[in-house]
Amino acid sequence: MVQKDKALETPSLDVEPSPSPVSGEACVEAPGPVVDSVGVESTGHRKFISGVVEGFYGRPWTMEQRKELFRRQQKWGLNAYLYAPKDDYKHRMFWRELYSVEEAEQLMTLIAAAQEHGIEFIYAISPGLDITFSNQKEVSALKKKLDQVTHFGCKSFALLFDDIDHNMCPADKEVFSSFAHAQVSITNEIYQYLGEPETFLFCPTEYCGTFCYPSVSQSPYLRTVGEKLLPDIDVLWTGPKVVSKDITVESIEEVSKILRRSPVIWDNFHANDYDQKRLFLGPYKGRSTELIPRLKGVLTNPNCEFESNFVAIHTLATWYKSNMNGVRKDVVMSRQVPQSGSKSTAIDVTSMSAPILCSSTSLTTVFQQPIMSSSMPPVCLDPLPHPLTKTPQEAEEKDSDEEPMETVVEKQDEPEAETDPEEKNVAPILADKITEDLKPMDTDKESGVESKSTEESIQEDSGSDIAPMQTDDQLKQDVFVPGPNEKQLFIPEPLTLEDLCLLAELFYLPYEHGPKAMQMLKEFNWLRANSSVVSVNCKRKDNEKVEEWQTRAHKFEEMCCSVIHMFTRLSNIDNRTILYDLYPYIWDIKSILSMVKSFVQWLGCRSQSSAQFLRGDQEPWAFRGGLAGEFQRLLPIDGANDLFYQPPPSLPTSKMYTIRPYLPKDEAAVYKICKEMYCEGLEDVPLSEDDSDLIGDRLVGGFLTLSSDYGFVLEDDEGVCGYALGTVDVKPFVKKCKLSWIPHMQEKYHKPDCEKDLTEAEKMILSFHEEEEGLPESFLSNFPSLIKVDVHAKVTDPSVAKSMMGCLLSSIKANGSHGAFCKVRQTDKRMLDFYSKLGCFEVAKMDGFPKDVIIMGRSL
């Protein structure tokens, strides 16, 4: 994307203040005069507020994380922090309660830390859930609470009335003519009581365009706010929507007109608290720098996971600095995507047309698209001097609100950037830096190409980038050295530059995926739609089309493998703080792509020409779950949410399993697993050496011989450790068994003497010689497919069984099935529990059901 910056009137550089004295007293009814806020000019001219709001739902950040945030904000030129975590119960739910001594000490330390780094600490309180506006006791409680925070050293405040019911209580209706009048009245009173602080923010209940009734320009609520709210109180606004794809100049002018002031943007662009499967590692975009002179400030409300917000905050700082001090700087953010077959991703590093920007600032824009560049030194890990390249042609941006999941514009016609010799050592640098601390994502080192400005000198960190959040005790332990007879421990591969690029593009932005993610989606969709050309019963195969399909399938599998390898390498990084923030997300995308990869392998060698994909025409933004959700939608069993819900293990692991279509060479391994798991828990299973295959012959042999097209196996580094077998329609399958498989088994196993007591093995042999009753037609019409799934006891990861089941059910549903069932012995509690966890339920007994077997079914 290209952002064009215009010359504008902007405030001068912030002046670093002296920290305010912090009082340890609980509270005082009448506060003293309020001094200027941190970073506000002595002339009284209010600065542009730029920074971070901690305003999401979910676990608040820790105190140490907030201190680290202040350090980064100071370094990048941001000046404000709004404290408003929704799950801090004394901020919102129990807003009347004063902070305890321990809590007070923490807040005082935090406010002092913000002041130390030149960051304005804005304390927000959200009383709107249950406050009675007309009750003076309630107003006094609010004043007392803010008095306490004032004595902690805080001089800037915000009153928030977001996400609450519009209805007033009966007592308030007698006093106030509208909800807006009630809010404005108490806000004005608190503002004056606190001595009219330099920074005082008000969040309206109608805080975005879609919440305004009947519209922004005609909203009685906003009109009242604009007319009655004191002019020096700033109003927070999220844009056209709660999460706005774009915020245009026209939309800001519209809301500014009715509010009679320029708003402060509370930007939810990178917020992810509304979807547990989404994370946003892409850049700050969709907001023209022409907005800056029309706003009072911008505060980003980013991802809940602190360590994932480097790019979001860094690129906000770049956006803001592009118009600092009235100097116009054109920030061009673009990429160069290599042609297919290129050895590595070459991304054109952004250049700046204005020479005043230092190289550290320009390197910041590398994160715009994507997170890192392999055509330059590893900027995110060890900043090395690198000449800036020419500004590429501006890419045309799609701008349709009707397609939130648009593709990032790719450019393929630009010359490849010259590779720096230092680039050859990327892997060792990555390994060293990721082991060290949070430095892997840092780019703000001076290259010496240009002289430092005053602001840059202030921001320069004379120490190191060591982050206080590194808590991994393993870093302090001695490295294991194997003895003479000991094996070398597993040595993880270092995380690569390409891994981080891929990570960012898999978790890009709320309305668009990164290029690689979009490529994977498009390729899977194409392979799915054209699978008939490689189906096993295609009568007239076009060799050219078959080759194309297989080539693209191979490339798609390689892309899936790159995600799986990235997951493995990321799982082994030494910085566990970053890993714990990212792990649930990379686990989720790894799991779904493993399933998708296996399904593509099945399409290429086993699918029938009748393969169908139902319900595949929904718009992508109708589904939650980000990229993983879109891949789920493209699988035939997209509605089987339980199979896609695969929580990560409590402790991160890089243990990998592979699911692939069954091959004839796997027969012995499948038989072995089947026998071992059948015998588990049984005290005595008398099988002679001649009968060693009996259990496998009885339970899985027919599937492997007559329906191997619907077979999958699970592998780990030691070999096959699970299987999933099935048949689309059990009725023709049973007929085939009677014609070929059963006669073969009758020859292999002679009928036992039924007049004596039979062993378990003999009973199993006898079943080959007796006519098996068919299941009722009324049942088979709803559950036509028979399945058999099992994993070895050594497999402790429950998600792999779900993935295998997902592959099997996808394959049978793709060929027309709408229900599957399995048979379980009444005494086999393990398998009853196993199938229950895979979404199967016990079917009520019907006439014709076998007496000693429980039938479990699952609708598709």
Question: Is 658 strand, coil or helix?
Answer: strand
- List Cβ<8 Å contacts ≥24 apart for 19-25: 19/112, 19/115, 19/116, 19/153, 20/111, 20/115, 20/153, 20/155, 21/153, 22/108, 22/111, 22/112, 22/151, 22/152, 22/153, 23/151, 23/152, 23/153, 24/104, 24/108, 24/151, 25/151
The rounded distance, in Å, linking the Cα atoms of 331 and 342 is 28
Three-class secondary structure of residue 854 per DSSP = strand
- The closest of 256, 268, 323 to 54, measured between CA atoms, is 268
Per 3-state DSSP, the chain is made up of helix, strand and coil in percentages (nearest 5) of: 40, 10, 50
Q: With contact defined as beta carbons under 8 Å apart, do 19 and 109 qualify?
A: no
Cα separation, 721 vs 404, whole angstroms: 41
Q: Are 14 and 74 in contact, with CB atoms under 8 Å apart?
A: no
Residue 845 DSSP class = P
User: Tokens 């201190």 identify what position?
Assistant: 67
* Nearest residue to 790 (alpha-carbon basis) of 733, 832, 748: 832
Decide if 725 contacts 703 (C-beta within 8 A): yes
Q: Strand 120-125 to strand 80-83: parallel, antiparallel, or no bridges (unpaired)?
A: parallel
Containing H/E element for 789?
A: strand 785-791
Gap between the Cα atoms of 695 and 194, Å rounded: 81
Compute the CA torsion angle 344, 345, 346, 347 (nearest 10 deg). Answer: -160
Distance of CA 760 to the CA centre of its chain: 51
- H or E, element range at 366: none
| Beta carbons within 10 angstroms of residue 250's beta carbon | 7
Q: Catalytic residue among 36, 87, 88, 163, which?
A: 163
Concatenate the DSSP letters of all residues of 393-449 into one string.
Answer: PPPPPP--TT-SSEEPP---SSPPPPPPGGGGGHHHHHHHHHHHSSGGG------SS
Task: Please state whether beta strands 719-727 and 120-125 pair in parallel, antiparallel, or not at all (unpaired).
Answer: unpaired
Known catalytic residue at 163? yes
Look at residues 641, 664, 640, 637 and name the one whose alpha carbon lies nearest to residue 815. 637
CA distance 629 to 498: 23
Are 429 and 379 in contact, with CB atoms under 8 Å apart? no
d(CA 811, CA 607): 7
DSSP three-state, residue 823: strand
CA max distance for the chain: 108
Using alpha carbons, select from 422, 446, 424, 426 the residue that is nearest to residue 434. 426
| Strand stretches in 72-217, DSSP E | 80-83, 120-125, 156-160, 200-203
Cβ(53)–Cβ(265) under 8 Å?
Answer: no
d(CA 552, CA 547): 9
Burial of 360 (0-12, 13-18, 19+ CB in 10 A): buried
Catalogue the active-site residues. Answer: 163
